[in-house]
Structure 1
Amino acid sequence: MKFTVCQLEQLLQLATDAALKAGTFINSVDRSSLQVHSKQAGSSLSAQVVTQVDLDSQAIILEILQPTIEQYDLALLTEENACEEDVATHARFHKDYFWCIDPLDGTLPFIEGGNGFAVSIALVDISGKPIIGVVLNPSTDELYQAINAQPLISKVLKNGSLWLPEQSEQLKQNSQSLSLYIDRSFQQDPRYPAVIEQLTAIAGLQGLALQVIKTNGAVMNAIGVLENAPACYLKLPKPQLGGGSLWDFSATAAITQALSAQYLASSSQILCAVSDYQGAALDLNRSDSNYMNHKGVLYSSGSIKEMLTPHVLLTFAL
């Protein structure tokens, strides 16, 4: 089954409605009285905490999207219903498309009173290509929407308007730093000092200082890269389960890929990309796991994209 432009627009709107309704609910919660529970997931604290807000946000989203699952025979993968033990039997391997939902990404920042959390909803096809991406930052009400279905249709909206790339000259004048977005757990990785050393050197070649941002969840890290070029968000491969999950990256991958097409169409010199650490497309319908630790993740924007070659990334991964 292939969706028409009209159907994609309708699905984008429903995903947007779901994200906005979930965001309204999340903003109504008194975070000072949260009860935090643990779950068996991944190898980092951020993957192992859950609140009733996560579960209630998911229910709000599914109330809106459930009719589309029945109408179009879609599969469903969400953070709060995923099971690592029986991955191979999931319906996403037998359906043309699946909704991939993180009802509250960045639970740790949310619990701690920060603002690096988001609602993330994506539609992914069976090949692993993210077709629709919707991200809402409830703290700021900033809304990002994308349809990533080239050559049929490709567009990116921010707060309801076409998201146009900045001019490269403006970018150069305004940029004084290279922003590195990381998950806080990466600071305990023995490879972290080498990454900082290498990226500091890369930034210095461009007359920039390295700025490390470690206060967001995965979704807002990726959005931060797109908003603050030159920037990158790096997750190295590792043997342990973790490295983020399919629902952490599907929506922002759709937004990044569609924005990259928008840059090319405008003949902009600004670049943005999302890939694994070898430069290949993210495996967003991985058949043996819900996690992305096997090949790592890289979001990049601005001239940093030209300098983070697969060879450089491979040296990080060793």
Structure 2
Amino acid sequence: MLNKNSLTTLCQSAINASIEAGKLIQSQVDQAYSQQRKQGGYSKASQVVTEVDFKAQAIILKHLAPSIAKHDLGLLTEEAADDESRLINDYFWCIDPLDGTLPFTEQRPGYAVSIALISRSGDPVVGAVYIPDEDLCYSAIKGEGISLNGESFSLTNPADDDSLHVYMDRSMQGASYFKELKDRTQQWAEGQNYTNVFYHVGYGAVRNAMSVLSHSNACYFKFPRKEKGGGSIWDFAATRLIFEELALPVTNGKRENLHLNSPETTFMNQQGVVYASDIRIREMIIEMNRKLV
């Protein structure tokens, strides 16, 4: 069991790693770099990888290597094969060196660096998210709250409490149920006296989740589905902890904790994910899933 001092040190390593990797990423936005397709899920966003992803990963591993040796930690990182040390060691680092590679290649917002330390039981205990284009680093230690750029962070009350903001992946727009989803969401929103429903599409999973924090009424979700994909463990590891530390709803499609260490797969399609600014919105999403999917 890692003690408080160890977790504090490990969190600082994750912060340093995410910032250095993020600075590298931001410096390459308008530069020439190679890109290719990789085996991923069902969406284009999950299949694009660039040399910048690999360079960012190398920076992060340089920072985390000493802690891996010292504490006998496992490792799961997006741009390397799963060696299944996550199933053996008490804790493992879970790394997404460049979440939102597609928006990065299109030179638009939506990308981030995500690093988490997860217990073998599938629960995050340390998390760091760095947003390169905004120079924002969120960090969390289980039970210790949230920091933003080294200062204590708490939610404010945005002035948009008359609107509902829905964050989703591009792939959902092509789903057969998308029109009905929008119709049902509009009906629900009117029943809650919201004057507008805004849909935000095109961010990576990390930025989608973090963007929910910017609104009074917002959500990001992925319905469970049979097809391989639905994001992977590294897409949700750090943001799950951040939401938990803020006491905000973050669950799978059955109101259970997002399990972040399935022996069978790193993909999350069988679980689905729900991030919400309050319980009412989470329940609306889960009920929508029951009726539509």
Give the TM-score normalised by the residue count of structure 1. Answer: 0.88
Q: Which residue identity is paired with 1:122?
A: A
1:110-147 CA deviation, whole Å, 9 max, x = no partner?
00010110000000101111111100000000111111
Q: How does 1:55-74 map to 2 (within 5 A)?
A: 55-74=54-73
Q: How does 1:155-170 map to 2 (within 5 A)?
A: 155-166=145-156, 170=157
Gap change, CA 1:156 and 1:312, over 3 Å in 2 = same
Deviation at 1:191, TM superposition (A): 2.2
Q: Which residue identity is paired with 1:91?
A: S
Deviation at 1:306, TM superposition (A): 6.0
Q: Which residue identity is paired with 2:37?
A: S
Provide the C-alpha distance between the structure 2 equivalents of 1:134 and 1:162, rounded to a whole number of angstroms.
Answer: 14
Q: Percent identity?
A: 39
Structure 1 equivalent of residue 49 of structure 2: 50
Provide the C-alpha distance between the structure 1 equivalents of 2:65 and 2:185, rounded to a whole number of angstroms.
Answer: 44
Structure 2 equivalent of residue 219 of structure 1: 206
Structure 1 equivalent of residue 233 of structure 2: 246
Provide the C-alpha distance between the structure 2 equivalents of 1:278 and 1:302, rounded to a whole number of angstroms.
Answer: 16
Structure 1 equivalent of residue 259 of structure 2: 283
Structure 1 equivalent of residue 169 of structure 2: 183
DSSP-derived class of the 2:145 partner? strand
Gap change, CA 1:13 and 1:202, over 3 Å in 2 = same
Provide the C-alpha distance between the structure 2 equivalents of 1:31 and 1:309, rounded to a whole number of angstroms.
Answer: 38
- The answer as to 2:186 corresponding to 1:193 is no
Gap change, CA 1:126 and 1:174, over 3 Å in 2 = same
DSSP-derived class of the 2:36 partner? strand
Q: How does 1:293-304 map to 2 (within 5 A)?
A: 293-302=269-278, 304=280
- Kept in 1, the 8 Å contact 2:160–2:216? The answer is no
- The answer as to 2:123 corresponding to 1:136 is no
1:90 to 74, 84, 95: 84
Deviation at 1:30, TM superposition (A): 4.6
1:253-280 CA deviation, whole Å, 9 max, x = no partner?
01111111xxxxxxxxxxx211111111
Gap change, CA 1:233 and 1:61, over 3 Å in 2 = same
Provide the C-alpha distance between the structure 2 equivalents of 1:237 and 1:207, rounded to a whole number of angstroms.
Answer: 29
Bigger drift between 194-203 and 26-35 goes to: 26-35
Structure 1 equivalent of residue 250 of structure 2: 274
Bigger drift between 106-115 and 191-200 goes to: 191-200
Gap change, CA 1:306 and 1:296, over 3 Å in 2 = closer
Deviation at 1:175, TM superposition (A): 2.0
Provide the C-alpha distance between the structure 1 equivalents of 2:219 and 2:188, rounded to a whole number of angstroms.
Answer: 12
1:67-125 CA deviation, whole Å, 9 max, x = no partner?
11111111100100135xxxxx6111111101000000000000001011000000010
- Kept in 2, the 8 Å contact 1:230–1:303? The answer is no
Q: Which residue identity is paired with 2:100?
A: G
The number of aligned residues is: 292
DSSP-derived class of the 2:144 partner? strand
Q: Which residue identity is paired with 1:130?
A: P
- The answer as to 2:93 corresponding to 1:99 is yes
Q: Which residue identity is paired with 2:171?
A: S
Structure 1 equivalent of residue 21 of structure 2: 22
Deviation at 1:192, TM superposition (A): 1.7
- Kept in 2, the 8 Å contact 1:231–1:301? The answer is yes
Provide the C-alpha distance between the structure 2 equivalents of 1:306 and 1:285, rounded to a whole number of angstroms.
Answer: 23
Runs of 4+ in 1 over 6 A off after TM superposition: none
Give the TM-score normalised by the residue count of structure 2. Answer: 0.95
DSSP-derived class of the 2:94 partner? strand
Deviation at 1:311, TM superposition (A): 3.8
Provide the C-alpha distance between the structure 1 equivalents of 2:31 and 2:280, rounded to a whole number of angstroms.
Answer: 39
1:118 to 102, 112, 122: 112
Deviation at 1:214, TM superposition (A): 0.4
Deviation at 1:305, TM superposition (A): 3.3
Q: Which residue identity is paired with 2:167?
A: Y
The alignment yields a C-alpha RMSD, in angstroms, of 1.6
Gap change, CA 1:195 and 1:56, over 3 Å in 2 = same
User: Gaps (5+ residues) in structure 1?
Assistant: 84-88, 261-271
Provide the C-alpha distance between the structure 1 equivalents of 2:229 and 2:19, rounded to a whole number of angstroms.
Answer: 28
Q: Which residue identity is paired with 1:244?
A: G
- Kept in 2, the 8 Å contact 1:237–1:243? The answer is yes
Q: Which residue identity is paired with 1:277?
A: G
